[in-house]
Structure 1
Amino acid sequence: MHIQKLFVIITFSKHIVEQMVSLIGAVPGVGPSLQKPFREYLEAQRMKLHHKTDGAAQGENWLSWTFEKLVIVMVCYFILSIINSTAQSYAKRLRQQMHSEEKTK
C-alpha cells in the first residue's frame, strides 16, 4: 500500500509528468502526436487527485476509453484461451480413452 502511494505521488508530480511527456515526444514518428493526449490525460488525473476538476475535465477522455477497451479485450482473450485449453485437454483425454478401448478389443 505504501509503495502504491509513493508511486502515485511521484507519478503525478508536475515536474516528473513533464519529463515523461517530453520522453514520449522523443519517440520518432509518433512521439509529437502522442504528447498532447498524454499530457492532457496525466493533467486530468493529477487534477482529479487534487479534487480540482471542472466540468470539461470530467468528460471522458478518448485515451482512457481506449485503455479501458484494451483491458476488456485482453481479459476476454485470456478467458477464451482458458476455455480453448480446457477443450483441447478434454478432446485429448477422449481420444486417449477411445484409443485405449480399441486396443483392449
Structure 2
Amino acid sequence: MERTLTTLTGSSHAALVDQDVAHIGRVMRPSLQGDLGGPILPVTYWRKRLYHLLDTGNLSHAQLCAVDSLLLQLDQFETEPPPVWIAPAAATAAPFQPLQVAAGRRI
C-alpha cells in the first residue's frame, strides 16, 4: 500500500488549532488542580503544548489571544500557593443501623 502525504489547507489548519486551543482551555485547569496526589499533568507539559501551537505559525489574532490567555493562566497558577486540603470532618451522626426483617417484611 502506498502512503500519500496529507497537506492541510489554511481553513483545516485553523480549525485544528481552534480545536486544540479549546481542548487545552477545557482540561488544563482541572489537570493542574489534580487531586490529593498533586497535578495530573504539570505546568511544563501545558506550556510546551501552547508553545508548540505558537511555533506552528499562521495563527489568527483570536487564536494568538486565546493562547496568550492560557499562558497567563499558567503563570497565575504557578504564582498561587497550592490549595490546602482540609481533612474530612468527623462523623457526628449515629452509625447506620440496618433494618430488621420480621416475618418477611420490613419494620
- Which bracket does the TM-score occupy, shorter chain normalised? 0.3 to 0.5
**TM-score after normalising by structure 1:** 0.32
Looking at both structures, which has the greater relative contact order when contacts are Cα pairs under 8 Å and sequence separation is at least 6?
Answer: 2
